[in-house]
């Protein structure tokens, strides 16, 4: 597959042939990374303040588990950036650590925010569903009466991790670095906005508000039923002060719906995967009300949240007008430019054997 056809197939501005890495993109990746770490640092500060102000404590076992995943990734990223430059390993480990920390901090921050004590908004959310002409109980019965459909909704709703692994596998070898950073940033920004809304619109979920009996979902294994309301009540009453596990507390907007939009957007430029990603995540949206105890309006809120987060993430990661100034002359008339990531844009000798192998891998993925 030719370089021209390769670029045309993927249609990104941040993708070049296997033997070349854009000079401007190097500085862009660094800037994007700083934005991401800034958002994560802000989330960490707010989380620490929130736990201190509300008297909650976070189980050390959970902190160590997060640290054992995130800190080694950061260490590996630094090593392969500064000591033995390898942009693939450095970028992959760093962006994984950023996503892990952002999602963990977002989930942890929801607990002190739940203590704020604003009244539950289930009646309001349910009234909007009724106004739209949507019957949640009838929707549940339709799925519960069809066991195969119940299994499909369960698999779709729990496909987020598998989609993330596929994202990393496809986007790193094909150098879709910028779009991957935008995906992580959109997730972090979306969490921040969702948490701000959660303060004023807490809700216990549909299973508790509508008093759904267990026999009404006998063929359906929902991920969340009445546990959400129980956790909120325990936090508000002071019966729970130690946070030793992280479960979803946010009803509106539905972040699972936001995830579905994020994945449809991030996979869209890959032509052979586009339709499959859209169909799978439409199933995620379809399954979210019954699997996650969400009102239908929660899905609308999640979709709007995702669109807003993607727009802001793209705006924050726009390419700078100035190119990287550090240019040096290397042997054999090869021009090398470095912007701190250890990448190099070269012009002169033909691509090396590893570069040709990487280009063949990229060709197979397209």
DSSP state string for 257-303: HHHHHHHHHHHTT-HHHHHHHHHHHHHHHHHHHHHTT--HHHHHHHH
In a domain, 12, yes or no: no
Assess if residue 355 is contained within a domain.
Answer: no
Domain count for the chain: 1
Query: Is residue 1 one of the residues assigned to a domain?
Result: no
337 in a structural domain = no
- How many Å separate Cα 24 from the centre of its chain? 25
The per-residue pLDDT string of the chain (366 residues; one tens digit each, 9 = 90 and over) reads 444 443 343 344 344 444 345 556 667 788 888 999 999 999 999 999 999 998 888 776 666 666 667 888 888 888 888 888 777 788 888 888 999 899 988 988 999 999 988 899 999 999 999 999 999 999 999 999 999 999 999 999 999 989 999 998 888 888 888 899 999 999 999 999 999 999 999 999 999 999 999 888 988 888 877 788 888 888 888 888 888 777 778 899 999 999 999 999 999 999 899 999 999 999 999 999 999 999 999 999 999 999 999 999 999 988 766 444 443 333 333 333 333 333 333 344 444 554 555 555 555 555
For residues 205 and 224, is the Cβ–Cβ distance under 8 A? Answer: yes
Handedness of CA 219, 221, 222, 224 (dihedral sign): positive
Strands 334-337 and 327-330: antiparallel
pTM of the entire predicted model? 0.80
Kindly state whether residue 180 falls inside one of the protein's structural domains: yes
* Four-CA torsion 130, 131, 132, 133, nearest 10 degrees: 50
Pick from 156, 174, 360, 157: nearest CA to 270: 174
In a domain, 341, yes or no: no
Give the distance from CA 92 to its chain's centroid.
15
Domain membership of residue 280 as a residue range? 27-119+133-325
In a domain, 272, yes or no: yes
Cis geometry, peptide bond prior to residue 253 (ω within 30 degrees of 0): yes
DSSP strands (E only) in the chain: 57-58, 242-243, 327-330, 334-337
Domain for residue 7, yes or no? Answer: no
């Amino acid at each position: 597959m030719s370089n021209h056809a390769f670029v045309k197939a993927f249609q990104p501005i941040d993708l070049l042939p296997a033997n070349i890495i854009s000079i401007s993109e190097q500085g862009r990746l660094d800037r994007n990374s700083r934005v991401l770490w800034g958002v994560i640092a802000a989330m960490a500060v707010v989380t620490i303040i929130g736990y201190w102000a509300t008297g909650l404590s976070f189980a050390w076992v959970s902190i160590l588990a997060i640290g054992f995943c995130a800190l080694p990734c950061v260490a590996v990223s630094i090593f392969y950036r500064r000591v033995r430059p390898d942009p693939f390993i450095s970028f992959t480990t760093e962006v994984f650590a950023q996503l892990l920390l952002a999602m963990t901090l977002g989930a942890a921050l929801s607990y002190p925010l739940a203590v704020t004590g604003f009244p539950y908004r289930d009646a309001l959310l349910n009234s909007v569903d009724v106004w739209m002409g949507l019957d949640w109980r009838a929707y549940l019965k339709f799925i519960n009466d069809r066991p195969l459909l119940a299994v499909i909704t369960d698999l779709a709703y729990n496909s987020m991790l598998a989609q993330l692994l596929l994202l990393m596998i496809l986007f790193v070898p094909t150098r879709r670095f910028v779009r991957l950073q935008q995906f992580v940033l959109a997730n972090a920004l979306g969490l921040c906005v969702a948490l701000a809304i959660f303060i004023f619109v807490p809700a216990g979920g549909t299973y508790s508000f509508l008093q759904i009996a267990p026999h009404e979902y006998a063929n359906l294994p929902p991920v969340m039923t009445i546990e959400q309301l129980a956790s909120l009540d325990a936090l508000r009453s002071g019966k729970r002060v130690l946070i030793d596990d992280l479960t979803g507390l946010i009803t509106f907007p539905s972040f699972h719906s936001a995830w579905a939009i994020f994945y449809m957007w991030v996979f869209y430029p890959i032509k052979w995967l586009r339709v499959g990603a859209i169909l799978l995540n439409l199933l995620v949206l379809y399954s979210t009300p019954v699997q996650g105890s969400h009102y239908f309006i929660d899905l609308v809120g999640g979709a709007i949240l995702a669109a807003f987060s993607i727009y802001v993430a793209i705006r924050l990661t726009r390419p700078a007008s100035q190119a990287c100034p550090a240019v040096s002359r290397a042997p054999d008339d090869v021009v090398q430019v470095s912007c701190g990531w250890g990448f190099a844009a070269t012009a002169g000798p033909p691509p090396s054997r590893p570069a040709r192998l990487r280009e063949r891998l990229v060709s197979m993925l397209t």
